[in-house]
Amino acid sequence: MEYKNNTTWQPAWKHGKTQVIRVPHALVPKILEYARALDSLHVLDIVLGAIDEYIEWRCQQKRHPNQH
């Protein structure tokens, strides 16, 4: 007999399969906060890309070495 998952909801995590782990109860909120931040790194990639583009643009500007 083959098990078939007929759920219609979308998974909450973007990085795929999940795993149950044992952690101290007091640390659960912070661990979940960190895990969700890691899971949504695509936002961080966009921000870091924009910073890289800005730095490259600033480096192309003709400025005196002591100008920022």
Query: 7-16, 20-29, 52-61 — which is least confidently predicted?
Result: 7-16
Nearest to 13 by CA among 37, 29, 31, 30: 37
Sequence-distant (6+) residues with CB within 8 A of 39 are 13, 14, 15
**Residue 44 vs residue 60, higher pLDDT:** 60
Output phi, psi for 53, to 5 deg: -65, -40
13-52 pLDDT, tens digit each: 888 889 999 999 999 998 898 888 778 876 677 778 788 8
pLDDT band at 4 (very low <50, low <70, confident <90, very high): low
Q: What is the pLDDT of residue 21?
A: 93
d(C-alpha 16, C-alpha 8), whole Å: 16
Q: Is the pLDDT of residue 1 over 60?
A: no
Predicted TM-score (pTM) of the model is 0.48
